[in-house]
Amino acid sequence: MADVRPDPSVRSAAGAPHDPAEQLRLLAVHAHPDDESSKGAGSMARYVREGAAVTVITCTGGERGDILNPRLQDDESLLADLPAVRRAEMAAAQAVLGVDHEWLGFVDSGLPEGDPLPALPEGCFALMSVEEAARPLIAAIRRLRPHVLSTYDENGGYPHPDHIQAHRISVFAFDRAGDPQYAPELGEAWTVSKLYYINGFSRQRLAGIARYLRENDRADEELESFLGNFDEGSDRLITTRVDVSDYREVRDAALLAHATQVDPDGFFFRVANDVQKAAGWATDDYELRASRIGVTLPETDLFAGLR
């Protein structure tokens, strides 16, 4: 359950209550390049175009990723320096979304597979202490002064070690960045008003779309089968649904900018945008995990209570 109790101590950098005329600022923390385009891209694009300042923080360079687009898997030139390719793809996606972007500079941990699972590589992001790994994020928060911070839930959205670590450092930074006694060398304290978990692949969304397709004699057997992977009892709380019906094509273009990672015929494009809209799920969905201002749930805006 989200902790949404108001905190009267929330102040702007000048020490006064938030000025409604001040530009709103969102900071989205992601583990790898391409995560920003598959999780919350529509809402980020919307907020940029509405005049907010939106910054994506990418924790690692995706150095241990593979080429996931089957059309490019035989391209030896890409494999020669995949980290550089992924940085270029990130720059292209950034331009599509219109966001600002920063790297934290940590090394991708990879996704261990096998039984038993192999050890994570020495020096990788997921093996760092949370306090050490959170330092550059705290410095970024104090410099950028976001009103809203978004990240993954405690399971990482899915259990990739870098996603889980991104969650850990985000929560740590949310708690510490506003404390002037904590690491003053990282900049002047800044208190973030709201913390959200992005809920990108919920059973509720997929079930709603599948039901719409069934009711309209367009049942998707693969989607129905995929739903079997979800336990209804594990549904995350959705407190906030941001309408991104006018920004789905922007999200698609940002995804396709990550050409080595995204199959144009794959999962992300399986359900047409008009179907998602007709099914009532043309939204980016979030769980409000903590708020230091008064809120009323459910919400339709990450900046609710701040405007």
Q: What is the pTM of this model?
A: 0.91
pLDDT tens-place string over residues 29-43: 999 999 999 999 999
Residue 7 forms part of a structural domain: no
18 is in an annotated binding site: no
Q: Total domain count for the chain?
A: 1
pLDDT tens-place string over residues 120-173: 999 999 999 999 999 999 999 999 999 999 999 999 988 899 999 999 999 999
- Res. 18 pLDDT band, cuts 50 70 90: low
End-to-end alpha carbon distance in the chain: 24
Residue 277 forms part of a structural domain: yes
CATH of the domain at 133: 3.40.50.10320
Residue 62 forms part of a structural domain: yes
Domain that holds residue 51: 25-199+236-291
163 is in an annotated binding site: yes
- Res. 8 pLDDT band, cuts 50 70 90: very low
147 is in an annotated binding site: no
- How far apart CA 237 and CA 153 sit, in angstroms, is 11
Residue 303 forms part of a structural domain: no
